[in-house]
Amino acid sequence: MKILFATAEVSPIAKTGGLGDVCGSLPKALAKLGHDVTIFMPYYREAHEWFANNGVTLDEVVPPMYINWGNWAAEATYLRTTLPGTDIPLVLVANDYFFNRPHIYSARLDGYDDGIERFSFFCRAIIRGCELLGIAPDVVHAHDWHTALLPIYLHSGLRGSENFRGARSVYTIHNLNYQGIGTRRQFATLGLHSRYWAPDAVEHFGDVNLMKGGIIFANQVTTVSPAYAKEIQTHEMGAGLDGILRSLFFKLHGILNGIDVHEWDPAEDPHIASPFHLGHLAGKSLSKRALLREFKLTHKSRTPLLGFISRLTDQKGIDLLIAALPQMLAAGAQAVILGSGEPRFENALLHIAAQHPDSCRVVIGFDNALAHRIYAGADILLMPSIYEPCGLNQMYALRYGTVPVVRLTGGLADTVIPFNGANLDTANGFGFIAVNPADFYTATWLAMLNYRESKAWRQLQDNGMAADLSWERSAREYETIYHRAQFS
């Protein structure tokens, strides 16, 4: 099958979270199953830097093209390469005005957030790019709000284009809470017929809502875990789109993300101090010692090291972490925290570190290599998310023998089996349910107590490390959805 991936992020070129990880690894698993995948992403400054740093030269494939849509026109340049380490074609859409900015999601210089305009341009440029490069997909796989316009464009007559005549669309929700909301005036920048300004199209309570349109017009919709697929159909977690999702439940499926088991492999990880694998965890102890040394924390026996790696936003339960962490440290834990995001959270975490110089370090920033060292060196990974569509961190932790403590929501509930004292044959972590720092603390404290029971702990680590977290299983489920899309 010919599959077109349209995405705002691709790891390792430019990512801010799980969307990038998925779009950097699912195409590889699909290619292994024999599919012909092409990826389109914007040529951000970050992408330019990634290719320059890695000595990759990009080919400009056709002369710059004017993309016309609505009453807009902007120039697109298409650069071609392959997804690193593969021969999967990757096409980068360049336009300095829209994409040459300090960060992937930077607003315009004057502070105006022109996300709707930038990604309308990107989606239009993908369509033109397919025509210019002779790409005729069977399935257009769009991801999150940034490319939600593609299923809408396909519905709105794009099938009149030779290249898209047989195309069907699959739309994946990675995070329902970022919907691509714009003002009524921005509807004009989408280049859609006025009949799409309707509650059963992209209009949502007087605003433009691109994700809503993607959900309505895609042939099939997926999200990144079975539990999240159920949660988003509830009023509490549906972020205003639960009604639409309930009414379209017949085309909504939850497919758990996999992880890139090559990038995240403790036996081969170039970032960590000492390799290790299931059944041989000496390297994990050495990696812990190295991490403690790096942060000038003293190694103490029977003292668990807590890790936390995250965007610092409400979603990730930072309020719970800030409330419970001092007590965890008082109960004898050490902690290394890596994150960036809202300044109020950054400051509160830095404040805790300053108050606990002997046991806690906080690094503000985005550092992939350090993330690897923390997954390898920590004993326990904390993940008190308020909601979590899938979550990758807990899967990386499981693979690195680091026992997760999670709030049992979304993909965390689908991947972490909490230890209850009687299920040591299957358990791989600890969990809590109520959004409450006391419950988070209690679950972590239980993990800390069990950490001292070395036999049970080792079993929890082994259970996690033995799990099949690869993309292969998920890729087969996506394959089924692509087939369904062809008949819907």
Beta carbons of 151 and 137 less than 8 angstroms apart: no
The two structure tokens encoding residue 376? 């390898």
368 lies in the site for ligand ADP, by CB under 6 A: yes
**Based on CB atoms, which residue is closest to ligand ADP, 355 or 368?**
368
- 89 by DSSP, 3-state: which? strand
Name 10's bridge partners. Answer: 14
Question: Residue 265 contacts by C-beta under 8 Å, 6 or more apart in sequence?
Answer: 399
For the window 266-305, what string marks contact with ligand ADP as x by the rule CB under 6 A? ----------------------------------------
72 lies in the site for ligand ADP, by CB under 6 A: no
Smallest separation, CB 27 to ligand ADP (Å) = 17
Residue from 6, 14, 18, 69 in contact with ligand ADP (CB under 6 A): 18
**First vs last Cα of the chain: how many Å apart?**
16
183 lies in the site for ligand ADP, by CB under 6 A: no
Beta carbons of 214 and 152 less than 8 angstroms apart: yes
Residue from 6, 392, 406, 448 in contact with ligand ADP (CB under 6 A): 392
**Based on CB atoms, which residue is closest to ligand ADP, 152 or 405?**
405
Beta carbons of 379 and 403 less than 8 angstroms apart: yes
Instruction: Please give the Cα distance from 43 to 61 (Å, whole number).
Output: 14
**Based on CB atoms, which residue is closest to ligand ADP, 129 or 411?**
411
227 lies in the site for ligand ADP, by CB under 6 A: no
Smallest separation, CB 7 to ligand ADP (Å) = 13
Smallest separation, CB 147 to ligand ADP (Å) = 16
Which segment (100-108, 277-285, 386-394, 427-435) binds ligand ADP by CB under 6 A?
A: 386-394
Residue from 149, 244, 371, 403 in contact with ligand ADP (CB under 6 A): 371
Q: How many CB atoms lie within 10 A of CB 367?
A: 14
Residue from 391, 410, 418, 464 in contact with ligand ADP (CB under 6 A): 391
- What are phi and psi for residue 310, nearest 5 degrees? -170, 160
Question: In Å, how far are 137, 298, 370, 451 from 293, measured between CA atoms?
Answer: 51, 7, 13, 21
Smallest separation, CB 13 to ligand ADP (Å) = 14
21 lies in the site for ligand ADP, by CB under 6 A: yes
CA 159 to chain centre: 30
Which segment (16-24, 99-107, 240-248, 475-483) binds ligand ADP by CB under 6 A?
A: 16-24
Strands (DSSP E) contained in 313-395 are: 334-341, 360-364, 380-383
**Based on CB atoms, which residue is closest to ligand ADP, 276 or 375?**
375
Residue from 81, 106, 303, 340 in contact with ligand ADP (CB under 6 A): 340
Question: In Å, how far are 13, 21, 84, 173, 351 from 87, measured between CA atoms?
Answer: 15, 18, 8, 27, 47
DSSP 146-162: GGTHHHHHHHTTGGGSG
Residue from 311, 356, 483, 484 in contact with ligand ADP (CB under 6 A): 311
Which segment (41-49, 59-67, 115-123, 390-398) binds ligand ADP by CB under 6 A?
A: 390-398
Residue from 310, 402, 428, 444 in contact with ligand ADP (CB under 6 A): 310
Which segment (300-308, 318-326, 336-344, 429-437) binds ligand ADP by CB under 6 A?
A: 336-344
Which segment (182-190, 203-211, 245-253, 362-370) binds ligand ADP by CB under 6 A?
A: 362-370
**Based on CB atoms, which residue is closest to ligand ADP, 161 or 340?**
340
**Around 443, how many Cα atoms within 13 Å sit in the side-chain half-sphere?**
28
402 lies in the site for ligand ADP, by CB under 6 A: no
Which is it for strands 89-94 and 72-82: parallel, antiparallel or unpaired?
antiparallel
Residues touching ligand ADP: how many (CB under 6 A)?
A: 17
Instruction: Please give the Cα distance from 109 to 240 (Å, whole number).
Output: 31
Query: How deeply is 434 buried, as exposed, middle or buried, from its count of CB atoms within 10 A (0-12, 13-18, 19+)?
Result: exposed
Site for ligand ADP, residues 118 to 177, rule: CB under 6 A: none
Q: What amino acid occupies position 241? A: L
393 lies in the site for ligand ADP, by CB under 6 A: yes
Smallest separation, CB 175 to ligand ADP (Å) = 6
Strands (DSSP E) contained in 265-385 are: 305-312, 334-341, 360-364, 380-383
Residue from 339, 401, 404, 418 in contact with ligand ADP (CB under 6 A): 339
Which residues of the shown chain bind ligand ADP in the complex (CB under 6 A)? Answer: 17-18, 21, 309-311, 338-340, 366-368, 371, 390-393
